[in-house]
Amino acid sequence: MPFRLLVPLGLLCSLPPPHLGAPGPDGSAPDPAHYRERVKAMFYHAYDSYLENAFPYDELRPLTCDGHDTWGSFSLTLIDALDTLLILGNVSEFQRVVEVLQDNLDFDIDVNASVFETNIRVVGGLLSAHLLSKKAGVEVEAGWPCSGPLLRMAEEAARKLLPAFQTPTGMPYGTVNLLHGVNPGETPVTCTAGIGTFIVEFATLSSLTGDPVFEDVARVALMRLWESRSDIGLVGNHIDVLTGKWVAQDAGIGAGVDSYFEYLVKGAILLQDKKLMAMFLEYNKAIRNYTRFDDWYLWVQMYKGTVSMPVFQSLEAYWPGLQSLIGDIDNAMRTFLNYYTVWKQFGGLPEFYNIPQGYTVEKREGYPLRPDQRSARPQA
């Protein structure tokens, strides 16, 4: 499931010294325990700052030190933090947060929510914590892993998303009202990632609940995208889910497309599904043939293969990790090296980097500190 990291919230006030755990003057390798403590310190800096300044809102605004709702008024940072609390061994805080969510989390609200974000962050976050709980020493219900409060919350959230999939194509709308379903005036244009990023969470949910509807709708959406690819094997960026016609025809591996490819691979691994992996490998051939130049991946016109945007986007930083997952280590290293040169040039990854000019794109110089931008996003 998508890796959720709270370190970006650490912009608030100050972080622990960056030299903590750094190699000594003689170049000797530091004790890994130093790095573990560094990660813990960053996490708790972000987590404690959220609780103090932003709870019960979704996220912390680090400059104004207050909170705001961003994706549906779910106290989202608490859900994001659940699995990390267990990984860090903080069982008591995990149990406290579960109780808080049980008492306060409400999906019967008149809120327009992103179908994509609610799935990867709410459904995914709750499922991850649910599946980790027993291993972390939490007392679980009889019948676990097919029962439990976190699983029930995940199922409730996912059911609120199902009306979005009720389209002629089976590809979902991008936004759904949690109380009323899809609004009558909702745009039918959805990005590729917003259609193809459900199979991991939804298949897991179907397996745990015994209800096939979640995996079924996710597979239909994946297949409709697969059937909509161009004659040269590429998909575009945005598609009309009512007509199946491509609205934005730029093909690449970055924003608007990224996690579609990621979920084909991770879905194939999770479900041991050879068809999903075969689909990705076919895409990978087309991507190498039409978008790859000197180990960069450009944006091209999906029907012609002609370059439309010679840029690297920070949201493409997951790609070397995905290449590694399928065993393509040589290409992963080459891709990573290119991305690392950009990181070294600026001290971070700008949203857009013009490859021929070797510099940022005007008005897209920002660095929003997404987990994806930590140059080879960890693969769950």
Q: Enter the tokens of residue 335.
A: 């891709």
- Beta strands (DSSP E) in the chain are 59-61, 66-68, 112-114, 175-177, 189-191, 238-240, 246-248, 250-251, 292-293, 296-297, 299-301, 307-309, 311-313, 352-354, 359-360
Q: Enter the tokens of residue 51.
A: 């609780």
CA distance 136 to 93: 12
CA distance 201 to 19: 38
The answer to whether 261 touches 237, Cβ cutoff 8 Å, is no
The answer to whether 373 touches 359, Cβ cutoff 8 Å, is no
Catalytic residue among 93, 351, 362, 365: 351
The answer to whether 58 touches 73, Cβ cutoff 8 Å, is yes
Give yes or no: 156 in active site.
Answer: no
Phi/psi for 246 (5° steps) reads -75, 130
Q: Which residues are catalytic?
A: 351
